[in-house]
Amino acid sequence: MKAKKTVRHLRLTKAAGAVLALALAGCVHVPADTSAATAPDFARAQHEAALKLARDAWPAQQWWKEYGDAQLDDLVARALTNSPSIAVAQARVATARAALRAEEAAGGAQVGLNAGLNRQRYSATGLFPEPIGGNWFNDSTVQVKASYDFDWWGRHRALVAAALGETSARQAEAAQAAQTLSAAVAQSYFRLQMLWARERNVAAQQAVQRDVLSGRQQRLKQGLVNIDTVQGAEQDLASLNQQAQYFATQAAREREALRALIGADSDGLPGLSFRPPQEVQAALPARLGIELLARRPDLQAARWRVEAALGRTRAAEAAFYPDLNLMAAAGLNSVSLSRLLQYGSRTMLAGAALNLPIFDAGRLEAGLGEARAQRDELLADYNQSVLVAVRDVAEEAATLAGIAQQRRAYQEAVDKAASLEANARVRLKAGLAESAAVLQAQLATLRLRDAGLQLRDAELQSQVALVKALGGGYRAAPIQTAANNQQDNHAIAK
């Protein structure tokens, strides 16, 4: 019977508390949100329609495998496994997850067990007279306490949402770190291969130039040319020697940069060899728009940071409302340890705690203003990130389109140089020209080849940059992305 009365009393207390909280909430004044911040318009996030490449596609998740180079595949795999930047990103994800678990555990029901045993001598001239005063007594307590935070206004839920947004942002940043690293490895590897290719091309020019020098020295002995002609050939050879040393130095530097990217030791690249990169057609989606959000991990990170800021803003608004919590405790208490377990030693407690801010010198308004300002700052950063993402895509696509035109013009020049060299060989065979004419034609062809290698290097760098600008194969869950957009647009519309 007593238990039923206790339950009925708790129900009445809860109902009365709820009514009181609602009544007090009607008197709460939350400052109006005057922010003019808006979500980005992804319908306008688009490159020029005239900007097109060979293929209409988004990058594959392991886009570097399209080049068919086992060395590159191994380097990227090692980088994603050993790089300190990936370890840092993963550690930040773990920290965010721990903070989320802590925030989730901070609300709802709490149950605890308290036990204590004290022995105290009471003063004979103090508050308590004999037989308490002047004697020693034990104070034994065993108590189970339970409390429940009803989170009437959603403050705790908002803080959990903020922690979840921060965790998701860290996860997206980890994906961004992986994509940035794989792109950096590919660009460094291609740059090294092109330096080796240019070094080989200079070696071929050196061989031809030595033949030119030998021919002029022979002609000098025969009195057919003067010393200036020989010295000119020697100067050209010295210039080629300098170029060879330059390319060797740059290749050594790039090799060390590549070794650092994959986190290898001093012997980490023993079997790396020259392999000209295969031709791969660059791809550009016909439309970007909202799909760019799902494809760019940095945009997802910025988007989740906005979600976290919205959660903190809602929590700051909820702090203006009264907070009502219930608490109950039951246990045993006795001044004698031998009597602790007796029926008469039982204690019970039930109560409610109401917290209503009345005057706080503007702290709540300042906190809310700060939360809203941070939200607007992150939203502006999000909008800027979208514009930067579209710009990156457009710039790299325009660069590749221009390189494609340059390569067509280059191929015409190569064909003409090859024709001139072939004509010189025909005249030499017919006795109508000297070998020097053929050697000069060969040198012209090799110099032109170096220009082609530079163009190819620029193309490879821009291809990788475009892949990175398009998200590097990252793909957020479609349901998650759609839910994010709906929540954000609704919150901003308010």
Asked if the structure places residue 361 within a domain, the reply is no
Q: What is the pLDDT of residues 110-159, one digit of tens each?
A: 888 888 888 888 888 888 788 877 888 777 888 888 877 777 788 888 98
* Whether residue 78 sits in one domain with residue 189: yes
Q: Are residues 226 and 334 in the same domain?
A: no
Residues 72 and 24 in one domain: no
Domain shared by 135 and 251, yes or no? no
Q: Are residues 73 and 146 in the same domain?
A: no
Task: Please check whether residue 65 lies inside any domain of the structure.
Answer: yes
Question: pTM, whole model, 2 decimals?
Answer: 0.80
CA dihedral for 110, 113, 116, 122, sign (positive or negative): positive
Assess if residue 395 is contained within a domain. yes
Q: Taking residues 432-441, report their average pLDDT.
A: 76
> What average pLDDT is seen over the chain?
84
Based on the fold, state whether residues 326 and 407 are members of the same structural domain.
Answer: no
- Reported as a single tens digit per residue, the pLDDT across 271-326 is 899 999 999 999 999 888 888 989 999 999 999 999 999 999 998 888 888 877 77
The total number of structural domains that make up the chain:
2
Instruction: Give the pLDDT score at 432.
Output: 63
Top pLDDT among 194 and 55 is at: 194
Residue 245 in tokens: 């040393």
Confirm whether 283 is domain-assigned. Answer: yes
CA dist., res. 360 & res. 181, Å (int)? 49
Q: What is the pLDDT of residues 343-356, one digit of tens each?
A: 777 788 787 777 77
* Mean pLDDT, rounded, for 158-168: 91
Among residues 299, 334, 356, which one ends one of the domains? 356
% pLDDT > 90, the chain:
41
Mean pLDDT on 444-473:
94
Q: Are residues 427 and 477 in the same domain?
A: yes
Let me know whether 162 and 246 are in one domain: yes
pLDDT tens track for 81-107? 988 888 999 999 999 999 989 888 887
pLDDT number for residue 22: 53
On whether both 414 and 450 belong to a single domain, the answer is: yes
* Domain shared by 293 and 439, yes or no: yes
Do both 299 and 413 map to the same domain?
yes
Q: Is the pLDDT of residue 31 over 60?
A: yes
Domain that holds residue 474: 35-107+154-320+366-493
Chain centroid to CA 87: how far? 13
145 and 256 part of one domain: no
- Rounded Cα distance between 445 and 185, Å, is 32
User: What digits encode the pLDDT tens for the residues 410-429?
Assistant: 999 988 888 887 887 777 67
Q: Model confidence over 216-265: pLDDT tens digits?
A: 888 888 887 788 888 888 899 999 999 999 999 999 999 999 999 988 88
Which of 302, 332, 356 is where one domain is finished?
356
Q: What is the pLDDT of residue 329?
A: 80
Residue 269 token pair: 């690249």
Q: What is the CATH number of the domain that holds 11?
A: 2.20.200.10
